[in-house]
Structure 1
Amino acid sequence: MATNEDVARIGRKLDKMVHKNNTDGALDLLMELKNMTMSLETLQSTRVGMSVNAVRKQSSDEEVQNLAKVLIKSWKKLIDGSKCKSQKKDKNDGSLMRTTSTSKDSCSSEKSSKTTAKSPVELPSLVTSFPVIPLTTDNVRNKCRELLVAALQTADDYKTFGVDCSLLAAQIEEQIFEDFKSTDVKYKARLRSRISNLKDQKNPDLRRNVLCGNISTRRIASMTAEEMASAELKKIRETLTQESIREHQLSKVSGNETDMFVCKKCQGKDCTYTQVQTRSADEPMTTYVMCNDCGNRWKFF
């Protein structure tokens, strides 16, 4: 039986090939998937069907296309079989709860379910065969889902990965709603932060990781603003934090009073200076000067 880790690993490799527009080596990965015994749970949790479908659309290799079609067809049968079993179980459970004279009804229900199993439901693609979109009649929640769909479709990445953005947006919104159990201010604030970060043109990696499944719907629903930020913004924040820490440390030190410095702002000489080792040990210390008259601060090298 194929493990989720192995299937997810192959799915990520296929997604990278699609993203780089280079499907060399895809045939070996598809052969590896073909030799695995796939379960419905693994298909749904890893979403490997989307990756295979995206490779099939992009690859010009006929052998890759044919093998991808074979895999998708076999996984459709697995999903169809699971649906038929579920229908059969529901009908049998319902017949047992009515009366004690339901044995005949149960038999007819089994015959009906067998007939249904013989005529599988036609599915337009593998993507639409995965879990249905969780429904809601709340206008606020539906509007939030529409905004999430628009954010996920900011660029054409979703076409490359073959993702159903409506389903993905509904799952993200569902996770956020589960945290608050209402559409209050906190719920709306979290939705706004997800939408703005997914739409950020300077941070496309966040959106791509969500689309290809590297960041799960549970994860994106609970990430902080710092975790969603781009690498460039994280670096800026770190620099500002270090500067704030340094300024805070300087404000705690009384320093040494001197009249050797002249304030460029008020021309006063009543100053206090402090020396801090901000560079390597073999370089001179940095002198921070503060004017006691106007509060102006500057560095002296």
Structure 2
Amino acid sequence: MDLISESDLNTCLKTLESSSQGAADGDKAEEARMLDVLKQLQRRGVTADLLKRTNAGKRLNKFCKHASDAVSKSAKAAVEAWKQCVKKETADGGDTAEGGASQPAKAPMANDSAAGGREGQPLAGASAAPASGTSGGGLRSAGSSQQLLTRQPSASSSGFSVDPPRCGNETRDKVRSMLAEALAVGYVGGGDTGPSSLQSPNQLGAAIEEALYDLMGGGGGGGGGREAVSAEYKAKARSLCFNLKDAKNPDLRERVLSGSVPPETLVRLSAEEMASDEQKKKNRELKEWLAKEAVRGATTNAATTDMFQCGRCKQRKCTYYQLQTRSADEPMTTFVTCTNCGQRWKFC
């Protein structure tokens, strides 16, 4: 069985995610598209390391409970095929056998041969039905190999040790660790140095924090002092960690690790500028919709209140509604309309 590449795996999973809602609503074309992708996944091999880097186990597992029976059945078959791939990889590597006793590296291969390829059998018949003893085709059955498929990717699960350089300030050191952990999601470097094309998350996390402290920390030139950090520093640090760790925004993390976006530039980016291409598209569509609604003067979902005072007529007869126009870690935007003079304004 040929191993699937990381880019092909991500493409397949993104296709499944984009077609899922349409298939659930009864769109036969989207359902056929999902089934075709799932059949490809059943025929391609995976490794435990690949599943951890891409979080593919968790992403595929949710389709086992899809509204379409055909999609659900095919997803369970793909899940079972992946389980067998990880089992076979563990056996070939000389890991612990199923009964718990440690076996020589070649013993599992001999057992498989004597049993007529028992380990490989489910791979060929995976598209027909999941193997017995599996509950709902999920990835949470007993056994360490199955748990590898469901573990959320993090700095520890990727094998990278998060230990950035310290500066002596407790708050700043915590921010450095959080940034390094966010950058280490999916990091495949060999140790602290990593590939020559990527920077170390530890060193880079410290550099980003240093640039952030110089920009808005309140301590002047940074360094290892114990000055109190500002509220703006803390808010920006939370925003950076959220966007760097976002599973839907790997491009930002890769650009930072590769040096395309230096720390001094990163700390000056707004939450909207750091958002993924998908989120930017949603934001543009939302702004266009809001502009149209403003022109039409739509107030269908607006609530009446006297909490706000109109700056034009000084009256407190207003309607308002709230929308999430920026990233999830930012506050909602409130849109207010004066019912007396028609003045409109917004605030966050």
In the superposition, the TM-score normalised over structure 2's length comes to 0.37
Which structure: larger Rg?
Answer: 1
Q: Which has the higher contact order (CA 8 A, sep 6+)?
A: 1
In the superposition, the TM-score normalised over structure 1's length comes to 0.41
